[in-house]
Amino acid sequence: MRKKILFVSIFVVLLSGSYLVYNAYEYAKSSKQIQAHGYIRVLGVEIWKDEALTEILGFIDWGILSAGEETTYFVWVENQGNSEIKLSMWTEAWNPTNASDWIDLSWDYDDSWIPANSSIPILFTLSVSSNIIGITNFSFDIWVKGVY
């Protein structure tokens, strides 16, 4: 009878411990909510919110992201020059500066030529590492440049 009580006691302790560990994990995961902003900077092009090119985009509010999550944002990039161009994109001015260790911005631009006075849709993808620590909000500049 004592072995049975001991076994049940050990089982209850292990079950309780598992429950606590699971809840701690879920809390830690949910506490990694991150507010994200990207400021648009351009050289030789313009970036628009809409396909009709009626509203210039100066800022992307990525919303609130969790660790391990990614989000996307469509833009239209217009070549306002007189000759065809390709595009170059980079990020800078990360705040905090170490945010770029955990966060990545990519795009689906295929390196094609963009004719003068025309636009193409581009999808930006922002990815947050599942291992991110110490960052609850961040911002950075997104540079897009037309290259001849």
Count CB-CB contacts under 10 A for residue 17. Answer: 10
Residues 9 and 38 in one domain: no
Helices marked H in 31-105 — which ranges?
A: none
**Tens digit of each residue's pLDDT (9 = 90 or more) over 73-126:** 999 999 999 999 999 999 999 999 999 999 999 999 999 999 999 999 999 999
Q: Give how many domains the chain has, as a whole number.
A: 2
Residues 22 and 48 in one domain: no
44: left (phi over 0), alpha (psi -120 to 50) or beta: left
Count CB-CB contacts under 10 A for residue 48. Answer: 18
Residues 74 and 142 in one domain: yes
Residues 85 and 123 in one domain: yes
Residues 26 and 38 in one domain: no
Residues 39 and 107 in one domain: yes
| Cα distance between residue 16 and residue 49, in whole Å | 51
Residues 2 and 61 in one domain: no
Tell me which residue range forms the domain holding 102.
33-147
Count CB-CB contacts under 10 A for residue 47. Answer: 21
**Tens digit of each residue's pLDDT (9 = 90 or more) over 8-55:** 556 555 555 554 444 434 434 444 699 999 999 999 999 999 999 999
